Amino acid sequence: MGLIVLLAALPLFFAFLTALTVPLRLEKLAKYPFLAGAVAPWAVFLFERAGNEVVGGWPRIGGIEVSLNPHNTPIVLAELVLFTAVAIYSLDYFKEVKAFVLLLLLHAGLLGAFISRDLFNFYIFMEIASVSSFALVGSSGEKKAVRAAYKYLMLSLLASYFFVFSIGVIYLKTGYLNLELISESVMSSKEINVAIAIAFASLLLKAGIFPLHVWLPDAHSLAPTPVSALLSGAVVKAPVYGMILIFSALPVSEGLSETAMVLAVASVFFGVAMALLQKDAKRLLAYHTVSQMGYVLLGIASMNFVGAAYYAMAHSLFKGGLFLSVGSLGKKSRKLGEFGYKNAPLMALSVLMLSLAIGGVSPFIGSYAKGLISSGLAGAWKWAVLAGSVGTLVSFTKLNYYLAKGEAPALPLSWKFASFALALVTLVSGLVLGVVPKVKDIYPLPVALTIFLLLKAAGVFNLVLEKEDVKPSEVNTGAMLFALFLLLLLYLAEL
């Protein structure tokens, strides 16, 4: 009997046990079932073979199919590594049992979405992860965080409604929800093209990719630090995996693929440009998620699904580590220049390693992932990857410039361990995947340093773009952008 489904079932079971400590007045013991739920899926992942299985042995047409395959195994592995690090970090961060329960529900939702092989179950698990995320973003109780959670909730629900509608159209035209059966029976038609366009726009909004990123910088920067790490490192990968399912099973038109390529490159450079202008450290990292998701979309749009999966894995590791590191250092103030790692050598080493990893410098995993994405591209698209890497290094030069001048507060050992462990994983995983130090990877570093110094001399970093608050009207703006973008995609689908 296959056990892949236990990847999602075990965190759900331990979430129940963790919640049970409250009525039993055993709250002090809640961290034990929480940690068990965090690491239990590792046993399944390490000992279960790759393959497909239908839960309960039912026929594929009516059963729930799950799998571990080359398109989702890197993403599942990254989620397990990141969640384990965040769980250790959270023990000294959260005091209430409900946070541990919500984290385990998020864990179960993400793993369930990543192993799903039918559209409806993928949607259900993605929503479990989303609902847990809304609650966790607003869990601090601060006014800005609650408003950011509300904005995230409203726009994510809007995307969910349209995604379910697209699933309904696909079901009506093919008679199936299972991806294998859909791919075997689907015929290209206007209805299918419209369904793909609606599904793509919905998942783009949920993934926070330009131009539908409007909720992401607020939610990711205002959430508690361990939640920011999970949002940026893992939660936005669920809709991305949905795009892999759609693009790999359905006949995506050339026009939509080209549109996705353009959006991917636009997201890479828009995220970098906005990150360079931020004075809030976590907001800088949040805009880099917009940028980095562009690389993942480049892989999907070019039908390089393995490349997209490995880039998603790499981003989970180095961005999760960066949020934990920088969020720890800036626990009293997030403004650049008011904190740093001058007196914290281990945290300094962690941030520097993670900065090199996100910049694509070998032998870190970022170099391997960028190489995979580039291998599926031709001509000018390859140069976009290189130019984006230089831009990323410029903004992380800025981050490290300010961090090198400030001092860190006293930090719990678990926070230092979690941050350094993720930095180490980005190095070790790169070496395991066969990345060796390359001289050509060194060339972008002096170029990035020179651009940083020129921008600093020009006063670019003195520009003020900080937001005072999250306004309710921003939900309307986001919904209007989504509607306009959806109309554009529907127009392209009719061409």
CA distance 362 to 266: 25
Mean pLDDT of 379-392: 91
Query: Residue 176: left if φ>0, alpha if ψ -120 to 50, beta else—which one?
Result: beta
Mean pLDDT of 408-428: 95
Whether residue 452 has pLDDT greater than 70: yes
- Tell me, what's the pLDDT at 63? 85
Token pair of 281 as six digits: 């450290």
Helix (H, G, I), strand (E, B) or coil at 52: strand
* Residue with token string 């000294």: 92
Kind plus residue range of the DSSP H or E element containing 53: strand 51-54
**Residue at 1: amino acid letter:** M
Average model confidence (pLDDT) across the chain: 93
pLDDT in tens, 331-385: 888 899 999 999 999 999 999 999 999 999 999 999 999 999 999 898 888 899 9
N-term to C-term CA, the chain: 47
Mean pLDDT of 443-471: 86
Taking a C-beta distance cutoff of 8 angstroms, is the pair 223, 145 a contact?
yes
- Tell me, what's the pLDDT at 405? 92
Nearest to 164 by CA among 462, 217, 86, 156: 156
Kind plus residue range of the DSSP H or E element containing 251: none
DSSP-assigned letter for residue 234: I
Token pair of 19 as six digits: 């919640």
Q: How confident is the model at residue 1 (pLDDT cuts 50, 70, 90)?
A: low
CA distance 271 to 269: 5
Mean pLDDT of 95-118: 96
pLDDT above 70 as % of the chain: 99
CA distance 311 to 371: 10
DSSP-assigned letter for residue 178: B
**Residue at 185: amino acid letter:** S
Q: Which residues pair with 178 in a beta bridge?
A: 118
Nearest to 315 by CA among 247, 237, 398: 237
- Tell me, what's the pLDDT at 295? 96
**Residue at 342: amino acid letter:** K
Nearest to 151 by CA among 126, 139, 136, 134: 134
DSSP-assigned letter for residue 49: P
CA distance 174 to 259: 25
Query: Domain boundaries in the chain?
Result: 253-463
pTM, full prediction: 0.95
Taking a C-beta distance cutoff of 8 angstroms, is the pair 227, 136 a contact?
yes
CA distance 494 to 481: 20
Work out the widest C-alpha separation in the chain, in whole angstroms: 66
DSSP-assigned letter for residue 118: B
Whether residue 406 has pLDDT greater than 70: yes
Whether residue 495 has pLDDT greater than 70: no
Helix (H, G, I), strand (E, B) or coil at 345: helix
Token pair of 320 as six digits: 């999760």
Token pair of 34 as six digits: 């929480």
Backbone angles phi, psi at 118, to 5 degrees: -140, 150
pLDDT in tens, 352-367: 999 999 999 999 999 9
3-state helix, strand, coil in the chain (%, to 5): 75, 5, 25
CA distance 209 to 216: 9
Backbone angles phi, psi at 68, to 5 degrees: -120, 120
Query: What's the sign of the alpha-carbon dihedral 394, 382, 259, 116?
Result: negative
Whether residue 484 has pLDDT greater than 80: yes
Nearest to 370 by CA among 292, 260, 253, 301: 292
- Tell me, what's the pLDDT at 180? 93
Query: In a 10 Å sphere around its CB, with 0-12 CB exposed, 13-18 middle and 19+ buried, how is residue 131 labelled?
Result: middle
